Amino acid sequence: MGGLAAAYAACADDVKLFDRDRWLADLLLPEPAREACFALHAFSAEIARVRETVSQPSLGEIRYQWWREAIEGARPGEASANPAAAALLDAAERFRWPRQALLALIDARVFDLYDDPMPDLAQLEGYCGETVSALFRLASLALAGGRDPGGAAACGHAGVAYGIVGLLRALPWHAARGQCYLPLDMLARHGASREDVVAGRAAPGLLATLAELRAIARKHLGHARAGLTDIRRDARLALAPLGLVPLYLEAMERAHYAPFATVVDAPQWRKQWALWRGA
């Protein structure tokens, strides 16, 4: 196996390793949308992991610039030699993915390189929109064969719900490295602060902030589900990962939940069952 087939296979392996939930969801998709989504989610996972792979933000900026240039067509030779880039660009061409959505995802991830706190809820929702909603939208385009699948609003809400839950799950990691994705205005309103987050203090005000964010995620989940009828039937599988959102929210709402102690997860069989029901 060589060429693009090998590139797509490498993407599937990367998604399985770095974003297993997406990998499980992608397995439900028919070909050729499945391999396109493996490419998309491998790209997303690589961009999300840049901070972990560099020693300083400036090196992360260089890595992001390489991806921007590859997507814009300025590095054809280098892109074809990179499995994730080669598969992503092939899928983007086949399914008419707007390159601007991929570039906006990179631009939004620049926030991850630094320790600046998330200022407010609007900024958080915008961040989730560009980093996660875009993935739902592009996946729905692949399932619709590159034609407009409808449901842009549903994909938007889906990304905010899924994105907020993902950030809440990753709270222990982010806090340990000095990052705060909890909106500062919301923390202040509940009598908490960024310092509580990075110190791992589960004070009442911080717990109240987490509860409010879970409620906001549920609100967006409801809007996304209500908008499913606006999406072409053959593209609705793009939103199957939403099946995991209630699973994780319920785990965070149990009495013994310790937000800084462990990353909320579930057995694979429960995830597969939730994804199947979502599909």
Which pLDDT band holds residue 2 (cuts at 50, 70, 90)? Answer: low
Domain co-membership, 241 together with 126: yes
Range with the lowest mean pLDDT among 16-20, 235-239, 274-278? 274-278
What phi, psi does 102 have (nearest 5°)?
Answer: -70, -40
The Cα 12–Cα 25 span in angstroms is: 12
Domain co-membership, 84 together with 136: no
Domain co-membership, 110 together with 121: no
Domain co-membership, 64 together with 180: no
Domain co-membership, 222 together with 274: yes
Average pLDDT over residues 104-130: 98
Nearest C-alpha neighbor of 220 from the set 134, 149, 155? 155
Q: What total number of domains does the chain contain?
A: 2
Domain co-membership, 241 together with 124: yes
CATH number at residue 137: 1.10.600.10
Domain co-membership, 135 together with 89: no
pLDDT at 210: 98
Q: How many CA atoms lie within 13 A of 98 on its CB side?
A: 11
Tell me the pLDDT tens digit for each residue of 255-266. Answer: 889 999 988 999
N-term to C-term CA, the chain: 31
Average pLDDT over residues 176-182: 96
Domain holding 21, by residue range, is: 1-114
The Cα 215–Cα 249 span in angstroms is: 9
Tell me the pLDDT tens digit for each residue of 47-59. Answer: 999 999 999 999 9
DSSP 3-state assignment of 180?
coil
Domain co-membership, 103 together with 133: no
pLDDT at 262: 81
Average pLDDT, the chain: 96
3-state helix, strand, coil in the chain (%, to 5): 75, 0, 25
Domain co-membership, 264 together with 146: yes
Domain co-membership, 77 together with 122: no
Domain co-membership, 122 together with 110: no
The Cα 97–Cα 12 span in angstroms is: 19
pLDDT at 156: 98
Which pLDDT band holds residue 250 (cuts at 50, 70, 90)? Answer: very high
Residue 279 has pLDDT above 80, yes or no: no
Q: Which of 114, 148, 180 is the last residue in one of the domains?
A: 114
Share of the chain above pLDDT 90, in %: 95
Range with the lowest mean pLDDT among 153-157, 184-188, 254-258? 254-258
pLDDT at 148: 95
Burial class (CB within 10 angstroms; exposed 0-12, middle 13-18, buried 19+) of 253? exposed
The Cα 110–Cα 116 span in angstroms is: 11
Tell me the pLDDT tens digit for each residue of 61-74. Answer: 999 999 999 999 99
Confirm whether pTM is higher than 0.85. yes
Average pLDDT over residues 162-177: 97
Share of the chain above pLDDT 70, in %: 99
Q: Which of 65, 87, 114 is the last residue in one of the domains?
A: 114
Domain co-membership, 263 together with 220: yes
Q: Which of 71, 96, 114 is the last residue in one of the domains?
A: 114
DSSP 117-168: PP--HHHHHHHHIIIIIHHHHHHHHHHTTTS----HHHHHHHHHHHHHHHHH
Average pLDDT over residues 203-210: 97
